[in-house]
Amino acid sequence: MTKIIITGKHTEEVKQWFLGIPDSQVIFAERLEDVSPEDCKDAEILAGGVNREIVERMPKLRFVQLFSAGANGFAWLPEQVILANAYGAYGDSIAEHLLTNTLMAMKRMPEYLKMQERQGWELLDNIERFEGLKVLSVGMGAIGTAYLKKCSALGAECYGVRRTIHDQPEFVRKLVTSDGMDELLPEMDVVALSLPGTSEVSGMFDERRLRLMKKTAIILNVGRGNSIVTNDLVKVLEDGHLKAACLDVMDPEPLPKDHPLWTAPRTYLTPHISGGYRAGVNYERVMKVAVKNLDLVVHGQPPIHIVDRALGY
């Protein structure tokens, strides 16, 4: 009988999914600190939250299942502990957020909403269409791939950047590594970032790269805030470069009051809400991934979506 600790608040239906895993004893705890010392001693699996303190109290721990897709910052886990994430469970939802922001900026909807507030009546120019638009996804995991698929369906020409060249979807016209990105940037109308929080992408979009983009281009970020140099972005926007910056993640985060990014022109910010459980279907998809993985591990099989802790994904 394998003891499993599940953290977080869960519906009764989802609890039954976990309790239905054969050959296991499941313990639920809303917070890590609620897990008793007795349960820590012989639990082999932890799902949900994880920190150093609880791992130190779990000598038999051999598998950690995250409920998040992001998995950077876990290199400290003991070598014998396998780590898996919820890769793919949030992809479609975050892709919809990207698509919403793209259309919003293309059609200049925020400006029309401000116009409505002052009861103005003005026809804005430079309204774009998706047909023939060139869209670049920097990051071709579940999020970037789902976003480009939706853009392609609306008539866009799609391009992608990924760490290594493999599995090029049929709707992607060209796929390059980061070394080839600078050649593509001046041609792109939209650049969407869905990068993991690794050191190699920190500061990737500095002033030089932002100015490589068209003056009329849109940049979006749903990955990690530090992939864009915030002060550089504010500077180029204030100079009149870029049509819009739509950010669901930023650096620093949460963004402090009075930070210049709040009032940078043509900047549209959301408080890291594109993923998570705000869309109820996300919660169910994540939990189904977790239940499947726990069942596999309990019965001696490798889980899916194992994280390479050195890479952070």
Both 77 and 188 in one domain: the answer is no
CB–CB of 4/43 below 8 Å?
yes
Residue 123 lies in a domain: no
Residue 16 lies in a domain: yes
Question: pTM of whole model > 0.85?
Answer: yes
Both 138 and 198 in one domain: the answer is yes
Both 191 and 286 in one domain: the answer is no
So what's the pLDDT on residue 245? 98
Residue 19 lies in a domain: yes
Residue 98 lies in a domain: no
So what's the pLDDT on residue 54? 96
Both 134 and 265 in one domain: the answer is yes
Q: Which amino acid is at 257?
A: K
Residue 142: alpha-carbon gap to chain centroid: 9
Domain with 74 in it: what CATH number?
3.40.50.720
So what's the pLDDT on residue 71? 84
Q: pLDDT tens digits for the chain (313 residues)?
A: 999 999 999 999 999 999 999 999 999 999 999 999 999 999 999 999 999 999 999 999 999 999 998 888 898 999 999 999 999 889 999 999 999 999 999 999 999 999 999 999 999 999 999 999 999 999 999 999 999 999 999 999 999 999 999 889 999 999 999 999 999 999 999 999 999 888 889 999 999 999 999 999 999 999 999 999 999 999 999 999 999 999 999 999 999 999 999 999 999 999 999 988 877 779 999 999 999 999 999 999 999 999 988 777 8
Q: CA 75 to CA 96: how far, in whole Å?
A: 31
Residue 95 lies in a domain: no
So what's the pLDDT on residue 281? 79
Sheet harboring 2-7: ordered strands across? Answer: 24-29, 2-7, 45-47, 63-65, 82-84
Tokens of 288: 């189904």
Both 132 and 250 in one domain: the answer is yes
So what's the pLDDT on residue 199? 83
Question: Which 3 state secondary structure label does DSSP give 114?
Answer: helix
Q: CA 245 to CA 265: how far, in whole Å?
A: 9
Both 146 and 39 in one domain: the answer is no
Both 46 and 153 in one domain: the answer is no
- DSSP conformation class of 24: E
Domain containing 217 equals 128-269
Q: CA 189 to CA 91: how far, in whole Å?
A: 22
Number of domains into which the chain is organized: 2
So what's the pLDDT on residue 309? 83
Neighbours of 234 (CB within 10 A): 19
Tokens of 243: 């049509």
So what's the pLDDT on residue 66? 96
So what's the pLDDT on residue 69? 86
Residue 242 lies in a domain: yes
Alpha carbon distance, N-terminus to C-terminus of the chain: 30
Q: Which residues pair with 161 in a beta bridge?
A: 138, 176
Both 211 and 176 in one domain: the answer is yes
Q: CA 134 to CA 152: how far, in whole Å?
A: 10
Residue 17 lies in a domain: yes
